[in-house]
Amino acid sequence: MYLEIRDLKKSYGEDSSRTQVLRGITTGVEKGQICAILGPSGSGKSTLLNCIGGLESADSGSIQVDGRELTGMKPSALAEYRRKYLGFVFQFYNLVPDLTVRENIQVCEYLSEHPLALDQLIKDLGLEEHQKKFPSQISGGQQQRCAIARALIKNPDLLLCDEPTGALDSASGREILILLEKINRTYGTTILMVTHNTEIRKMAHKVLQIRDGRIVEEYANDRPVPAAELEDL
From 23-27, 57-61, 87-91, the region with the lowest mean pLDDT: 87-91
pLDDT band at 180 (very low <50, low <70, confident <90, very high): very high
Short-list 8, 12, 24, 1, CA closest to 63: 8
Mean confidence (pLDDT) of the chain: 93
d(CA 64, CA 37): 18
At residue 115, does pLDDT exceed 80? yes
Position 202, amino acid: K
The answer to whether 9 and 23 have CB atoms below 8 angstroms apart is yes
pTM: 0.91
Residue 14 has a pLDDT of 84
The answer to whether 207 and 201 have CB atoms below 8 angstroms apart is yes
d(CA 107, CA 40): 34
| Superfamily of the domain at 3-229 | P-loop containing nucleotide triphosphate hydrolases (3.40.50.300)
Average pLDDT over residues 132-138: 97
More confident residue, 60 or 232: 60
pLDDT band at 35 (very low <50, low <70, confident <90, very high): very high
Q: How many C-beta atoms surround the C-beta of residue 135 within 10 A?
A: 21
At residue 207, does pLDDT exceed 90? yes
pLDDT band at 100 (very low <50, low <70, confident <90, very high): very high
- Domain ranges, ordered by start, for the chain: 3-229
Average pLDDT over residues 194-220: 96
At residue 83, does pLDDT exceed 90? no
Residue 34 has a pLDDT of 98
pLDDT band at 94 (very low <50, low <70, confident <90, very high): confident
Residue 201 has a pLDDT of 95
Report the run of H or E that residue 88 belongs to, with start and end: strand 86-89
pLDDT band at 225 (very low <50, low <70, confident <90, very high): very high
At residue 16, does pLDDT exceed 80? no
SS3 170: helix
At residue 17, does pLDDT exceed 90? no
